[in-house]
């Protein structure tokens, strides 16, 4: 499932540069994740980078409204990175 950023966000922007899918952008008040681009970092890394880099606990979290299988996440990754090879984890 895609990740989302909660109201705990302090808008430091640390996550934006880490996302290899360009799924994170600055919203009106906090940073936001585009669920059409977030693959939980499937294809790029073996764990979600935004969660790792975020200085706030429980700020970048799985979004239960966007549940997807690993295969669906990989399909999304392939759409975003045509011609590239996903990280095999
Ligand atoms: Fe980007 Fe990975 Fe965070 Fe999704 S989980 S927004 S792909 S850094």
| Domains within the chain, CATH numbers bracketed | 3-80 (3.30.70.20)
Centre of ligand 1 to C-alpha 65, Å, is 16
Ligand 1 midpoint to CA 26 (Å): 14
| Interatomic CA distance for residues 66 and 18, integer angstroms | 21
pLDDT of residue 8: 97
Distance from residue 30's CA to the centre of ligand 1 (Å): 16
CB of 9 shorter than 6 A to ligand 1? no
pTM exceeding the 0.85 threshold for the entire prediction:
yes
CA dist 10 and 76 (Å) reads 28
pLDDT at 88: 79
| Burial (CB count <10 Å: 0-12, 13-18, 19+), residue 16 | middle
How much is the pLDDT for 72? 97
Ligand 1 within 6 A of CB of 54: no
Which pLDDT tens digits describe the chain residue by residue (89 residues)? 799 999 999 999 999 999 999 999 999 999 999 999 999 999 999 999 999 999 999 999 999 999 999 999 999 999 999 999 999 76
């Amino acid at each position: 499932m895609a990740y989302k950023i909660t109201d705990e966000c302090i808008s430091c922007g640390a996550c934006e540069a880490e996302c290899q899918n360009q799924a994170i952008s600055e919203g009106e008040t906090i940073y936001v994740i585009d669920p059409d681009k977030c693959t939980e970092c499937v294809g790029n890394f073996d764990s979600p980078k935004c969660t790792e880099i975020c200085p706030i606990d429980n700020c970048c979290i799985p979004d239960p409204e966007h549940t997807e299988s690993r295969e669906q996440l990989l399909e999304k990754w392939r759409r975003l990175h045509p011609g590239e090879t996903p990280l095999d984890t």
